[in-house]
């Protein structure tokens, strides 16, 4: 009880919005002064400084058949598969971006070393087989599917059957990620995503699992309406039975200003819930899931990822050979990424860039044969140093400043004088230990690692 009270006090003390740090700096600090010419400059690095570096392609499919009220992704609702319908028209527009990239690569003798590809959304499973065939054929002009080490797709289990899973394997997909979120029926109804454990289980029987050599991922969210410690416990019991290889266990990002549909989750009308779990309740929900996972041989990797202890990711983590990036934890190498489609985000060297949204300029720019670059950021040396620190802390809960000093030719004690002073408060609260120019985050402190990362964020105000 005393430990729980201490945790509650810490949650109240550190109950301030913290970035998830899928990139640094956060997109809200990127500039619309970043233009198409800057994006082209980043692409040209692929013929010079980064021509031998591994790359990843991310493809955004912005459509779903119905809204999930928890979602903060960029999506539109449709089921229009007609010849002149929204989905086929979108694929035609996406093809223009693919062609534009291909022509730029040819003109500038660029041959990116794509080793990974990820199809996300929205929901890429909204595409029927004919539409998916068309997409893969177009993408293959840029990314040689047969040469990929990893080809992943996000799966909505309500939209596929066993035959479709076999079809994805035939297309070269070797890792699948299921949007589960929660298995409690009342929670599912509140977030407008009803899918039973049996439905998911029928899609990952042993014969199907064997086809996807890089494994099965589950995405779970805590902090949803009507979740309690009891319901999250039952959800994780079912998850253990289904035995995914990896699990991403995310906190709900509630941002109704950006995602207006999120308000429906707690509008209180027609029997709907009228509140979300508060900050302390959310932490306790996470601890329930954490305990069940660790009791069942799952290893925590970074802030919000888990893997079976015999998985290659677990072995890489023990050898400190993992890297944190926007799409999760990667093994051994840090991978730059080109994102295509509306809201697609690219990271190439020191360049971040983001495409326009679907209804705010994406199509218009491509019709003019221009890359649909909305905003971006070119990192400074200071950005690079801080990004490395933040990503290391988020991913491995430790940091050796001596390595930072050697790599970047700085004196961290002077460079981070204010940040190191602020570490004293975290140390007093039992969140970390700082000695011999090294940070070690405690088990308790892992739940506040984003606050520790904030300490090194040069774009936010520190008191």
Distance CA 11, CA 328 (A): 25
Residue 332 confidence class, pLDDT cut points 50, 70, 90: low
Query: Which segments of 145-286 are extended strands (E)?
Result: 150-155, 175-181, 216-222, 246-251
The pLDDT tens digits of the residues spanning 412-422 come to 999 999 999 99
Q: In what order do the strands lie in the sheet with 438-441?
A: 398-400, 438-441, 432-435
Residue 328 confidence class, pLDDT cut points 50, 70, 90: confident
Q: Please report the pLDDT score of residue 19 as a whole number.
A: 87
CB 160 within 8 A of CB 124: no
Query: Considering the chain, what is the average pLDDT of its residues?
Result: 93
pTM of the predicted structure, to 2 decimals: 0.94
Q: Please report the pLDDT score of residue 3 as a whole number.
A: 67
Strand partners, 273: none
pLDDT over 80 at 4, yes or no: no
The pLDDT tens digits of the residues spanning 446-463 come to 999 999 999 999 999 887
Distance CA 110, CA 253 (A): 38
The pLDDT tens digits of the residues spanning 71-120 come to 988 889 999 999 989 999 999 999 999 999 999 999 999 999 999 999 99
What's CA 372's distance to the chain center, in Å? 22
Q: Please report the pLDDT score of residue 2 as a whole number.
A: 52
pLDDT over 70 at 304, yes or no: yes
Q: Please report the pLDDT score of residue 337 as a whole number.
A: 95
Distance CA 436, CA 431 (A): 17
Residue 237's CB: how many other CB atoms inside 10 A? 13
Whole-number percent of the chain with pLDDT over 90: 83
Residue 292 confidence class, pLDDT cut points 50, 70, 90: very high
Residue 314 confidence class, pLDDT cut points 50, 70, 90: confident
Domains of the chain: 31-378 (3.80.30.20), 381-454 (1.10.10.920)
Q: Please report the pLDDT score of residue 324 as a whole number.
A: 79
Residue 7 confidence class, pLDDT cut points 50, 70, 90: confident
pLDDT over 90 at 270, yes or no: no
Q: Please report the pLDDT score of residue 399 as a whole number.
A: 96
Distance CA 301, CA 329 (A): 8
Q: Please report the pLDDT score of residue 8 as a whole number.
A: 84
Please enumerate in sequence order all residues whose Cβ is within 8 A of that of 156, keeping only pairs 6 or more positions apart, or say none.
64, 123, 125, 126, 179
Residue 321 confidence class, pLDDT cut points 50, 70, 90: confident
Distance CA 139, CA 134 (A): 9
Q: Is 437 left (phi over 0), alpha (psi -120 to 50) or beta?
A: left
**Which of 6-20, 262-276, 358-372, 408-422 is the least confident region?**
6-20
3-state secondary structure of 168: helix
């Amino acid at each position: 009880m005393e430990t729980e009270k201490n945790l509650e006090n810490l949650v109240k003390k550190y109950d301030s919005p913290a970035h998830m740090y899928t990139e640094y700096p956060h997109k809200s600090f990127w500039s619309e002064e970043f233009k198409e010419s800057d994006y082209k400059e980043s692409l040209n690095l692929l013929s010079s400084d980064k021509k031998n570096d591994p790359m990843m392609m991310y493809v955004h499919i912005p459509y779903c058949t119905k809204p999930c009220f928890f979602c903060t992704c960029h999506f539109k609702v449709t089921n229009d598969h007609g010849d002149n319908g929204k989905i086929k028209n979108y694929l035609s527009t996406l093809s223009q971006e693919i062609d534009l990239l291909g022509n730029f690569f040819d003109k500038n003798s660029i041959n990116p070393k794509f080793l990974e590809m990820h199809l996300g959304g929205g929901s890429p499973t909204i595409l029927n087989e004919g539409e998916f065939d068309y997409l893969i054929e177009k993408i293959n002009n840029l990314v040689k599917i047969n040469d990929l080490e990893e080809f992943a797709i996000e799966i909505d289990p309500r939209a596929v059957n066993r035959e479709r899973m076999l079809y994805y394997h035939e297309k070269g997909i070797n890792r699948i990620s299921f949007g589960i979120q929660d298995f409690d029926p009342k929670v599912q109804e509140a977030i407008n995503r009803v899918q039973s454990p049996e439905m998911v289980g029928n899609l990952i029987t042993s014969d199907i699992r064997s086809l996807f050599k890089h494994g099965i991922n589950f995405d779970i969210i805590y902090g949803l309406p009507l979740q309690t410690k009891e319901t999250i416990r039952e959800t994780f019991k079912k998850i253990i039975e289904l035995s995914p290889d990896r699990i991403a266990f995310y906190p709900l990002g509630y941002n109704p200003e950006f995602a207006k549909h999120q308000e429906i989750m707690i509008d209180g009308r027609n029997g709907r819930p009228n509140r979300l779990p508060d900050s302390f309740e959310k932490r306790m929900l996470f601890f329930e899931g954490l305990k069940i996972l660790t009791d069942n041989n799952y290893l925590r990797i970074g802030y919000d990822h888990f893997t079976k202890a015999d998985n290659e990711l677990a072995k890489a983590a023990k050898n400190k050979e993992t890297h944190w990036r926007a799409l999760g934890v990667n093994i051994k190498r840090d991978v730059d990424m080109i994102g295509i489609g509306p809201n697609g985000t690219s990271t190439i060297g020191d360049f971040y860039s983001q495409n326009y949204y679907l209804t705010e300029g994406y199509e218009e720019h491509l019709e003019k044969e221009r890359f649909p670059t909305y905003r971006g950021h070119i990192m400074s040396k200071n950005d690079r140093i801080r990004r490395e620190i933040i990503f290391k802390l988020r991913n491995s809960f430790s940091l050796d400043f001596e390595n930072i000093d050697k790599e970047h030719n700085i004196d961290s004690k002077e460079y981070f004088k204010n940040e190191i002073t602020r570490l004293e408060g975290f140390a007093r609260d039992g969140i970390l230990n700082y000695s011999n120019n090294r940070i070690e985050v405690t088990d308790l402190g892992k739940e506040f690692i984003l606050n520790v990362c904030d300490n090194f964020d040069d774009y936010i105000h520190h008191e």
